[in-house]
Structure 1
Amino acid sequence: MHTQDQAVLQQALTWCQSNQTAWLCTIVETIGASPRPRGSMLVCNAQGHTAGSLSGGCVEEDLVARLGNGEIDTSCPQLLDYGVTAEENERFGLPCGGRLRILVQALVQSDSNWLEQASAAVSERRCLLRTVSIKSGETRVKSVGRYTELSVTQDTLSQCFGPQMRMLLVGAGQLAQSLAELALAMDYQVMVTDPRPEVLAQWPGPEVELIQGMPDDVVLAHAADRFAIVITLTHDPRIDDMALMEALATEAWYVGALGSQRTTDKRLQRLRALDVAEAHIERLHAPVGLPIGSKTPLEIAVAIMAEITGLRRNR
């Protein structure tokens, strides 16, 4: 499964390798409300074909048309502003007061090298830093140990490509279906595991990787790094506790468990009885999700994704 970043990088690589005229466009600054965050990318070629998104609407159409018509000098990278006036906000469909600053960089065949490295890093769940000289367009990449936010100065753009957040759902029931649908729409990679083959065989959800096995083994094999999310959903302590014991001891960024406060209190007692370190127990998000009074599976899924989104944006 490809992330949107990887789809952009792969398409840019394909066009560069075939020596087609193409441009990589990156949001470097947002002011006010914005449909897409900083770092979002779009690549387009002279025929008007695109991959990725900057606004989901008229900004892309205008930018691609201007590039195709030669209205923008891309002999060196250009910084373009959209949504500067109220008239432009209405024309381009930006939210009230929204503004985008976009770096447009022409790609040439020699850019294939860094594009290939960046695409490989995303696939292999490694972090790679892209540095672009705004004066010359020269791009350099290097491996880095951790993800950093995009930054731009008068001379340089620095953008980190990192792994897609991977969400492992333990339990293949109806709530996992709703949660998987939301997470996929929000660009997470989703895996579902359950030790019960008959339950997996009846999976009603979207097309995701289904893994049958003991939950602790699955966590260790697939969701042990700092870009992983593990959420237990079965209500069966024999399944959930095994997954939690392993996940809490890993670098997994978020570990959550479904259940009421009473269920959570009993779970914490069991984990302590199993000698799980208190520092590990403190990492557990339980009851999982924001307390918004959710009852239905979709409402609970919304509460969970809202909590995860808030934590990611504020970390």
Structure 2
Amino acid sequence: MDSLDLEVLTRARDWLHAGHRVMLATVVRTWGSSPRPPGALLALRDDGRAVGSVSGGCIEDDLIHRLRRDGLPRDAHTVSYGVTADEARRFGLPCGGTLQLVLEPLADAGALDELLDRLARNELATRRLDLASGRATLHAGHADQGLHFDGHTLISVFGPRYRLLLIGAGQLSSALARIASALDFAVTVCDPREEYSEEWNVPGTVLTRDMPDDVVIAMRPDARTAVIALTHDPKLDDLALMEALKSPAFYVAALGSRHNNDARRERLKEFDLSEAQIERLHGPAGLYIGSRTPAEIAVSIAAELVAMKNGAAADSLLNVRDAKAALDIAADTLSSCAVAPT
């Protein structure tokens, strides 16, 4: 879940403790283009205060208008927007966009306390809402779950933010950390080298000077964790990679040329790693966009990071390694044609 949705749950809990009545709106289905994905949250207080987002703003305005006109609903129910072209224009939805919300009156601050406590412990949790009774229960979750709604029961998945560990506190790491933070990753930067770590100043990130392998082990990477090695120093990068590749981390990558990454793969064979684990390494890191500057390289790596997070098909991505190999083949072909007799 992203930090905005965490804020929604926190504010809703605080409003309930303060004696307010609260309604929670959850996006459960979308068709065509839609401003917010399934699972997005909005909390409305009985006096019209709101936090969160389910659209670009027009649907929020309509829900606030309904609340002030009719009061908060007594029962959980669904509502749809954008079913017709006229509604899409009225509510500011993209062309063809339609979304369905579950509107749920909240009454139990203690239940949100329990959910937020689980999230504070970095646990994944599912919240099951039965629309007929309005009863919500909490259960353990796992990383491959997603929101489910069958018209009667809403199962929402809540869990820690996606985490990103960067090895190295140089200029490229700074650019990538800023992009990743904007993408709502919780960013940790590891660099035991004082000449780099002393200059780190990216707000909202965590800096550690511990050794990279110790940091990876302590973080216990899961399916919502990515590890990227950026120092060009095998003594630091390889230590982190050998632990990360043995973990369920969804993206493990390293900066460097194809030659350097081939050498890195050979070095990793000397550790307790299988061929399959070494094959998980993305190196050189990033998608091919012709990047040259640190900021452009950061964009390239961030693009591959998001693609892997979102499950984009590998054969639809043009990674740096394959793209440069293809360019080499093309250059060799052109060179051969240039010297061939006519």
Q: Tell me, in whole angstroms, the C-alpha distance in 2 between the residues paired with 1:122 and 1:147.
A: 17
Deviation of 1:32 (Å): 0.9
Provide the residue aligned with 2:99 in structure 1. 100
Q: TM-score normalised to the size of structure 1?
A: 0.92
Matched, 1:252 2:249: yes
Provide the residue aligned with 2:228 in structure 1. 231
Deviation of 1:223 (Å): 4.6
Q: Tell me, in whole angstroms, the C-alpha distance in 2 between the residues paired with 1:40 and 1:307.
A: 24
Deviation of 1:300 (Å): 2.1
Q: Tell me, in whole angstroms, the C-alpha distance in 1 between the residues paired with 2:64 and 2:144.
A: 30
Q: Tell me, in whole angstroms, the C-alpha distance in 1 between the residues paired with 2:158 and 2:142.
A: 11
Does the 8 Å CA contact 2:128/2:155 hold for their aligned counterparts? yes
Aligned 1:37-52 pairs, distance under 5 A: 37-52=37-52
Q: TM-score normalised to the size of structure 2?
A: 0.85
Provide the residue aligned with 1:113 in structure 2. 110
Higher mean C-alpha deviation, range 143-152 or range 131-140:
143-152
Q: Secondary structure at the match of 2:269?
A: helix
Does the 8 Å CA contact 1:127/1:161 hold for their aligned counterparts? yes
Gap change, CA 1:202 and 1:223, over 3 Å in 2: farther
- Provide the aligned length of Structure 1 versus Structure 2: 311
Aligned 1:2-81 pairs, distance under 5 A: 3-70=3-70, 74-81=73-80
Matched, 1:309 2:306: yes
Q: Secondary structure at the match of 2:184?
A: coil
Q: Tell me, in whole angstroms, the C-alpha distance in 2 between the residues paired with 1:195 and 1:239.
A: 9
Does the 8 Å CA contact 1:150/1:159 hold for their aligned counterparts? yes
Does the 8 Å CA contact 1:225/1:250 hold for their aligned counterparts? yes
- Structure 2 unaligned segments of length 5 or more: list them: 313-342
Matched, 1:293 2:290: yes
Deviation of 1:204 (Å): 4.0
Q: Tell me which of 153, 156, 172 is aligned to 1:159.
A: 156
Deviation of 1:225 (Å): 2.5
Deviation of 1:245 (Å): 1.0
Aligned 1:149-298 pairs, distance under 5 A: 149-298=146-295
Does the 8 Å CA contact 2:76/2:132 hold for their aligned counterparts? yes
Q: Secondary structure at the match of 2:70?
A: coil
Does the 8 Å CA contact 2:143/2:224 hold for their aligned counterparts? no
Deviation of 1:252 (Å): 1.9
- Structure 1 unaligned segments of length 5 or more: list them: none
Name which one, 1 or 2, has greater alpha-carbon Rg: 2
Matched, 1:84 2:83: yes
Q: Deviations over 1:50-95 (max 9, x none)?
A: 2222124222222123223326x61111211122222332333322
Q: Secondary structure at the match of 1:252?
A: coil
Does the 8 Å CA contact 1:147/1:162 hold for their aligned counterparts? no
Provide the residue aligned with 2:126 in structure 1. 129
Q: Tell me, in whole angstroms, the C-alpha distance in 2 between the residues paired with 1:181 and 1:35.
A: 24
Q: Deviations over 1:248-289 (max 9, x none)?
A: 122222211112212211111111234532122011111112
Q: Secondary structure at the match of 1:81?
A: strand
Q: Secondary structure at the match of 2:6?
A: helix
Q: Tell me, in whole angstroms, the C-alpha distance in 1 between the residues paired with 2:121 and 2:3.
A: 12
Q: Secondary structure at the match of 2:27?
A: strand
Gap change, CA 1:314 and 1:147, over 3 Å in 2: closer
Q: Secondary structure at the match of 1:163?
A: coil
Higher mean C-alpha deviation, range 77-86 or range 20-29:
77-86
Q: Tell me, in whole angstroms, the C-alpha distance in 1 between the residues paired with 2:102 and 2:115.
A: 18
Higher mean C-alpha deviation, range 20-29 or range 30-39:
30-39
Deviation of 1:312 (Å): 2.6
Higher mean C-alpha deviation, range 85-94 or range 5-14:
85-94
Q: Secondary structure at the match of 1:69?
A: helix
Q: Which amino acid aligns with 1:194?
A: D
Q: Tell me, in whole angstroms, the C-alpha distance in 2 between the residues paired with 1:298 and 1:79.
A: 44
What is the percent sequence identity of the aligned residues? 43
For the aligned residue pairs, the C-alpha RMSD in angstroms reads 1.9
Q: Tell me, in whole angstroms, the C-alpha distance in 2 between the residues paired with 1:27 and 1:230.
A: 31
